[in-house]
Amino acid sequence: MKYCCHILLLALALSACTDKAAQEPVDFSDVLIEDSFWTPRLDRHKTATIPICIDQIEKETGRMRNFEKAAAGEGEHEGYFFDDSDVYKALEGLAYSLIQHPDSVLEAKCDEWISKIAAAQQEDGYINTYFTLPCPIERWTDMDKHELYCTGHMIEAAIAYYHATGKRTLLDVAQRMVDHAMTVMGPGLRHWVPGHEEIELALVKLYRETGDRKYLDFADWLLDQRGHGYGVYGDPLEPVDDGTRLYYQDNVPVREITDIVGHAVRAMYLYCGMADVASFTGDKGYMEALDRVWDDVVLRNMYITGGIGSSYTNEGFTEDYDLPNLEAYCETCASIGMILWNSRMNRLTGDVRYADIMERCLYNAALAGMSLSGDRFFYVNPLESKGNHHRRPWFGCACCPSNVCRFLPSIGGYIYNVKGRSIYTNLYIGGSATFDVDGKPVTLKQETEYPWEGTVQLTVQTGCRARLMLRIPGWCTSWSLEVNGEKVTYSNSGTSGYVCAGNAWKAGDRVTLKLDMPVRMEAADPNVKADIGKRAVCRGPLVYCMEEVDNPVSYDSALLSSATVFSETWEPGLLDGVTTIRTADGAVFVPYYSWDNREAGRMKVWVDYK
């Protein structure tokens, strides 16, 4: 099996002590990140990302003014019909920050926003400023106007803020809106196919929070509406063309999905919703469809960075292996969606291949979406640039900045999963975590210089009986393991999977995993015409690129071959500290996530190979 972006084999063999079973993530609120790579980024989230989101929402755009006008019942709506969602996503990010770093000033700002949101809710529970203010169409008449999409993001923000503060004002607002929607659509009522998925996964979160089965059933019903000819333009149904159905993932019933189609972000949220519903209902049809479409995404439609969605035209997919570099779309939101979906698939199946893709997306496609300063963002993430593509502080359609705002502070929740007496370590990020294993508290401390170095040390700080499972990344072909300084030999060395370090621990026991990180060249699948005769340079989980600023002379003439010798240099003063890769011919490579953080210039991931 091959990724469409390279020819490294993805071995699926798992270690002998691994079982495929549903796992539960360790919540990021139980994880304290103390890591030289991620801590500075989380600090900038507090000092740069949050302030710019607040400024844009309150002052530079009409997003918060829309709620004020809706509460007053007068004025014109500003911006897009889905702009309420940016407020909710940013608010979710603020709530996550409060969970890790309580801040009375920030909490007061959240309360101020929530008060304005609650004031804009109608007597029947409906809330959406685009439709509340003078609007050319009536509410619940156009399935593509994102009413349920905005509701989904409100649910997620409400639950996050309730967990952060114990305050349920926004949760009550969200629950009333959902209860209202369920008087309009559902079994025996109107058909409804949301034009932009998101509500489905949010409803499952609401079910988890409230224990009310009707929200899970509603999510399942919405998923099952797709592909039956109901359409996304209202009820009664009007005929729509096949291209429209493909764009909205409304072309086939969800259990019959085989290929990814249409808009990339919509597809990711759809698959997340299917996985979440299946986690409670055990719907094999959902899981079989997700397994099929995962192969189509990863093997035929994914960039080497983990980015997806190559086309500007539909912000999504065209045909298999259509992966241009200069024209690549790769929306930041789609990359975050890939992480959300693959983390769910990993938890449901125990299969490490999903964690591999999660890591690839995290360190490359998603991380590139934000500047090193934390206050500039990419909407589009090409793999080649002529020097005219740059991050911006905000966009008219600002889904990506607000999505980054909510995603970044939650990364601690992707490190560990737990199933019974097994602890699965999926990401190597320094810090400590305290969580229950089989009903008893366990504390782990992780120390590493990942992704620059492959040595990871885990210290078990509370004695316990638990299988400690460590992921061997798919990119790693050589590794070693030590327990309390003594080397442990395993027969499955060189395969991708989880390795079991042991199952009985005393306080202070140490596990040291050493992953070799040589520079490697990866080739694209030969069906990818844009990359024929080219190679990409990678090291560890990172994809590298050439920037013109480092290669003023050799940018056009750079040539790789089987004889190319690479050297690696840690440069603490460059791009917040990076390991650069150089060739004897003078070509310089830096991590893809770090490009466009210096002077403008050309960039490319794929380099000519002879």
Give me the DSSP letters along 455-471: EEEEEE-S-B--EEEEE
Asked if 315 is an active-site residue, the reply is yes
SS3 of residue 574 by DSSP: coil
How many other β-carbons are positioned within 10 Å of the β-carbon of residue 253?
A: 15
C-alpha–C-alpha distance, residues 320 and 185, integer Å: 36
The sign of the CA dihedral 31, 34, 38, 39 is positive
Spatial contact of 400 and 393, defined as CB atoms under 8 Å apart: no
Task: Give ∠ CA 524-525-530 in degrees, rounded to 5.
Answer: 60
Pairing of strands 440-448, 431-437: antiparallel
| SS3 call for 480 | strand
| Distance in angstroms (rounded) separating the CA atoms of residues 595 and 93 | 25
Cα of 393 vs its chain's centroid, Å: 20
Q: Give Cα 362 to chain centroid, integer Å.
A: 7
- For 346, the 3-state DSSP assignment is helix
**Cβ partners under 8 Å of residue 118, min gap 6:** 169, 170, 173
Sheet holding 497-500, edge to edge: 24-25, 416-419, 422-425, 467-472, 497-500
Contacts of 141 (CB under 8 A, 6+ apart): 234
Tokens at 86, concatenated:
């940016």
Is 399 marked active-site? Answer: yes
Q: How far apart, in Å, do the first and last CA atoms of the chain sit?
A: 25
CB burial of residue 213 (10 Å; 0-12, 13-18, 19+):
exposed
107, 147, 197, 315: the active-site residue: 315
Q: Which residues are 512's β-sheet partners?
A: 457, 482
φ and ψ of 597, to 5 deg: -110, 5
Judged on CB neighbours under 10 Å (0-12, 13-18, 19+), 299 is: middle
Identified catalytic residue from 150, 330, 399, 500: 399
Q: How far apart (Å, rounded) are the C-alpha atoms in residues 323 and 129?
A: 38
Residues in CB range of 474: below 8 A, 6 or more apart: 8, 10, 11, 352, 353, 356, 496
For residues 176-196, b (16+ Cβ closer than 10 Å) or e, as one string? bbbebbbeebbeeeebbbbbb
CA-to-CA dists, residue 195 to 68, 141, 192, 267, 507, angstroms: 26, 12, 9, 11, 52
Residue whose token pair is 């407020």: 87
- Catalytic residue positions? 315, 399
